[in-house]
Structure 1
Amino acid sequence: MGNRLSGKVVVVTGGNRGIGRAIAERLADEEAMVVVGDLFDERSPPVSVERLAFMCLDVTKETSVRAFVDEVLQKFGRIDVLVNNAGIIVHKSIDEQTVEDWDRLMAVNLRGPFLMAKYVAPEMRRVGLGTIVNIGSVEGFMVNPWHTAYAATKAGVHGLTLGLSVDLGPDGIRCNTVCPGWIETDLNRSYVELHPDRSLVERELAQLHPVGRIGSPKEIANAVLWLASDESSFVSGEMIAVDGARTKKISLPSILDGDYRAKLTKP
């Protein structure tokens, strides 16, 4: 608990669960008033938490984004921090992907952050200060099989971050991206649980990361907090990987990687 965001109004899209919820709660812990924009239904009703407000938002629709921003401003008077977290993924080969799959991913993962920035930036410009944090992915740098469309959207988010940091910098608005690696979310956990040897999958996932384990949503939230706070006041236009150095390790054949690991662990 702290007060690094005391008095600030923060918007987190897709913040009702997973990484987004961890971000929303962590920023609220720092005394921000956090507005969670998400699609709510009977299966995912908002759970009341102090300093969190919930409003319906469809980031793919311009009318929804405009109405959402207007409502936030009407209720809270300003928006200091925007966290573009809402996103989806499709696991399909290029042959299996449909145009509808492609368009849906582009709409949520790329058009959404664009629309949110478009309508929030004027309000940040009005007060001469603001921070946008996009949630990208290490798949903007490297790609898992069957993730062509997803990787394309995240590379687009990285490009959007660069453009916003240059265009909005003179207005006192910073923009950065956090790029998560493999994080222990409900979605990722469900993939692991489908495998007959869950413990083997968990060990091999951990071994992909030089730090020896996978990450937690709270660790992504901590990175977002730093970028949202004044502690990062001269940081803009950056893609910050939070991945336990996974993207920094050159792949080796498993037999050589095993020999190398054994040498490191010898007493």
Structure 2
Amino acid sequence: MSRFERKVALVTGGRSGIGRAVARRLRDEGATVLTAQRGPDDEFDAVPADFTDPESPDRIVAEVIERAGQLDVLVNNAGMMQEATVEEMSAQDWQRSLAVNLTAPFLLIRAALPHLRRTRGNIVNVGSIEGLGSNPRHAAYCASKAGLHGLTRAVAVDHGHEGIRCNAVAPGWIDTDLNLEFVEGMPDPDAFRRGIGRIHPVDRSGKPEEVAAFAAFLASEEASFVTGEVYPVDGGRMSKLSLP
């Protein structure tokens, strides 16, 4: 498959987890892929990034253009989660979550728009089912991901006439290295895994590659009439009502 031949993609947080799977999928389908995150990337051409720094996004996009000459696909994947209720969370921690999960994507989109306009490119934001519902003690994460979903729709509405599409995927429980490490830290990892499986109609958790496959579809011309949408990739979790 070569849906992205002669295309250039920027994937933030592309060194691990869902971001790594998306970067690999786009590369395997022909794209030139650059990633952006703290530190080096041993697999892809990487741009150093600090997503708490509001000056970082302009520099990242400029670096991509300098190295690759164009930008066709922007994948806003980098994010963070802090566990705290509203009462427990400091204003500083709240602002940090919003800076990484919402303000950085906004600034990256703003910086990328002139280049995406030239290529009639598109944006895929990695939101979360926690932008649609909430797990306990995830106040800032839920708020920031809900904001990212709203930003997705706004960009699609404002820039669709320029040939720019913007969509979001909203993953559920995905077996990233971080989540697998969390599971292994449980008193009974096997029981925890069975419990996670039971909350999904498909009876299992998801794989990063499954999110990547859908993100690649949204970024491709096969989705040319799709914009402004937020798609759960969650094994049906959000459709399943809890039992008493």
Q: TM-score, normalised by structure 2?
A: 0.97
CA-based RMSD of the aligned residues comes to 1.0
Task: Supply the AA of the counterpart residue of 1:73.
Answer: I
Q: Corresponding residue for 2:88?
A: 96
Please say if 1:85 is aligned against 2:80. no
Alignment partner for residue 239 of structure 1, among 212, 221, 230? 230
CA–CA separation in structure 2 for the residues paired with 1:141 and 1:67: 32
Alignment partner for residue 148 of structure 2, among 152, 157, 161? 157
Task: Supply the AA of the counterpart residue of 2:89.
Answer: Q
8 Å contact kept, 1:206–1:213: yes
The count of residues paired between Structure 1 and Structure 2 equals 244
Alignment partner for residue 140 of structure 1, among 131, 148, 158? 131
Alignment partner for residue 46 of structure 2, among 54, 62, 85? 54
Q: Corresponding residue for 2:201?
A: 210
Task: Supply the AA of the counterpart residue of 1:55.
Answer: V
Q: Report deviation, 1:38.
A: 0.8
CA–CA separation in structure 2 for the residues paired with 1:47 and 1:154: 29
Q: Corresponding residue for 1:32?
A: 31
For residues 146-178 of structure 1, give each alpha carbon's deviation from its aligned partner in whole angstroms, at most 9, with x where no partner exists. 001100000000000010000010110000000
Runs of 5+ unmatched residues, structure 2: none
Task: Give SS of 1:62's match.
Answer: coil
Runs of 5+ unmatched residues, structure 1: 254-267
For residues 201-251 of structure 1, give each alpha carbon's deviation from its aligned partner in whole angstroms, at most 9, with x where no partner exists. 100100000011000000011011000111101000000000000001111
CA–CA separation in structure 2 for the residues paired with 1:28 and 1:107: 28
For residues 78-132 of structure 1, give each alpha carbon's deviation from its aligned partner in whole angstroms, at most 9, with x where no partner exists. 10000000100001222221111101000000001100000001111134x0110
Q: Report deviation, 1:47.
A: 1.0
Q: Corresponding residue for 2:4?
A: 5
Alignment partner for residue 192 of structure 2, among 191, 201, 208? 201
Q: Report deviation, 1:63.
A: 2.2
Q: Report deviation, 1:188.
A: 1.2
Q: Corresponding residue for 1:171?
A: 162
CA–CA separation in structure 1 for the residues paired with 2:48 and 2:121: 23
Task: Supply the AA of the counterpart residue of 1:126.
Answer: R
Query: Stretches of 4+ moved more than 4 A in 1?
Result: none
CA–CA separation in structure 1 for the residues paired with 2:51 and 2:105: 8
Q: TM-score, normalised by structure 1?
A: 0.89
Bigger radius of gyration:
1
Task: Supply the AA of the counterpart residue of 2:12.
Answer: T
CA–CA separation in structure 2 for the residues paired with 1:60 and 1:98: 16
CA–CA separation in structure 2 for the residues paired with 1:199 and 1:232: 39
CA–CA separation in structure 2 for the residues paired with 1:64 and 1:8: 23
Q: Corresponding residue for 1:112?
A: 104
Calculate percent identity across the aligned residue pairs.
Answer: 48
